[in-house]
Chain A
Amino acid sequence: MADFDELKFRDPARARALTEALHREVEAAGRTISVMHVCGSHEQAIARFGLRAAFPRDLDVIMGPGCPVCVTDTPEVDEAVALAAQGARVCTYGDMLRLPGTVKSLADAQVDGGNVEVVYSVSRAVEIARARPAEQVVFFASGFETTAVATAAVVLSGVPENFSVLSSHKYVPAAMDLVAEIEETSIEGFIAAGHAATITGWGIFEPFAARTRSPVVVAGFEPLDVLAAVLELVRLIRAGRPEVMNCYPRCVSKEGNGPALEKLWKVFELAAGNWRGIARVPRGNLELRPEWDHLNARRRFRIDTSTVGGAERNVLAEHCICGTIMSGLARPSDCPIFGKECRPDSPVGACMVSSEGSCKIWHVYGGQPDLRGVA
């Protein structure tokens, strides 16, 4: 790989130049500017590369509801746990395994003797169904549209009769609408998730920018990608231009991935859904369209979640502020149980479970990576 050693998107000289420009821009604004990104992979990049230490003091870059696993609601987990208890084989992505339900996670269901399997791809779940024709195999599907298109492709290519989908897919633009409508929010602009935009295209954010008067910049996941996008965003905010800027042209076009979008909307439609700890989000969930009822686990089975609820109460969960964190109104370090009772090996809240959850990211990459108060 010697030919490829030029790490253009990590070049320190360019990073310094961008950082200096960002400092000048925020200083010239003469006030605090808050912006939000809605993607766990962006938070990984920011925390992993220590970018918050380089950001100006008066710039707040906050992670919003950008972790689809984290916003999966407890009753959705309960449905999967109940299906496992009712004898179905539940296949799901690894991040979902320890996501707490009302009382139990799928990992608990496994301990109870339920058949729960982690898969890296929905295709694998279909293979499992083919190999076990006597069983009901339910794919508990999580992820934003980038991941939902894979579920859609599998549905359209034909699946065995014993395969069904329990959809917990979420829709990124709804996450941004949600935050923009919170009254106490101070967010003036958004960094849009790069790979979700690979599918939907950046054009989808234009109506949002116009309606909320908030600029949107599409960004990749490298240090220079993030720095350049934040700089562009601050410039747009200062200029009062609620426009959409694509700072990730190597992966994102205006129209997006046509074949993938066609499949997505053939299989899914937008529906209102509760996002854990946040709110009921209109058009926030991707549900199977009625013509796929025969593959929809919610239609195929009578899912009895009363058996997995019960009177047990998780006292720790009452201290969890994941919802406030995902709304951009608090940081992981503001939570009284962050890094204490709530850790990656014993997560209380959803944000500590997924590799895309802000609490897990802050915990793994140094707990409190925001060093601006130190200098």
Chain B
Amino acid sequence: MCLGVPGKVLSISDDGMSAQVDFFGVEKELRLDIVDEPVTVGDYVLNHVGFAIRRIPPEEVGETLALFDQILKEAAAGDLMAEDVRGEMAAGKAVPGGESGRG
């Protein structure tokens, strides 16, 4: 439950309160009310229970993404860490067509 999962900001709502975020090919809407600093399109953010909790410093993005990509790749059924990652990805609000898989 404490595992933040990173995603890429695709767009930001007009009121600045939420963002469409891409998690490994799945699009979800995340809330931006508690992120540590302002985010813009193209930034990566850590997601926890449907909320962005940290803007990931750009120089860390590659490693962070590679790690989660790897967790998902290795994921067998019943793997707790992978389940937590999937739960976090599911925590965002569904967006139309977002689950259809761009990845």
A interface residues (Cβ-Cβ under 8 A, vs B): 1, 3-10, 39-41, 44-45, 48, 68-69, 93-95, 120-124, 127, 142-144, 146-147, 149-150, 152-153, 156-157, 193-196, 198-199, 221-222, 250-251, 257-260, 263, 354-356, 360-361, 364-365
Contacts and interface: CB of A to CB of B under 8 A. Distances in A.
B80 A44 contact: yes
Question: What's the dominant secondary structure at chain A's contact region?
Answer: helix
30 contacts: A4-B62, A5-B66, A6-B66, A7-B67, A9-B67, A10-B70, A39-B2, A40-B1, A93-B49, A94-B87, A120-B87, A120-B91, A121-B91, A122-B50, A123-B93, A143-B2, A143-B49, A146-B48, A150-B49, A150-B50, A150-B51, A196-B2, A198-B4, A198-B46, A199-B53, A251-B4, A259-B33, A263-B33, A355-B1, A356-B1
Contacts of B81: 41, 44-45, 48
Contacts of B92: 121
7 nearest A-B pairs in the assembled complex, by CB-CB distance = A121-B50, A4-B66, A120-B91, A260-B34, A257-B36, A250-B60, A153-B33
Contacts of A40: 1-2
Contact of B35 (A6, A259, A355): A259
Interface string B52-79: 0110110010111111011000000011
Nearest to A4: B66
Nearest to B57: A250
Contacts, number: 149
Contacts of B90: 120
B41 interface: no
Contact of B63 (A6, A121, A124, A157): A6
B84 interface: yes
Nearest to B90: A120
A41 B2 contact: yes
Contacts of A48: 79-81
B93 A144 contact: no
A221 B92 CA distance: 22
A150 B33 CA distance: 9
Contacts of B4: 146, 195, 198, 251
Contacts of B51: 121, 123, 149-150, 153
Interface string B15-49: 00100000000000001011110000000001011
Nearest to B29: A123
B2 A10 contact: no
Nearest to A142: B1
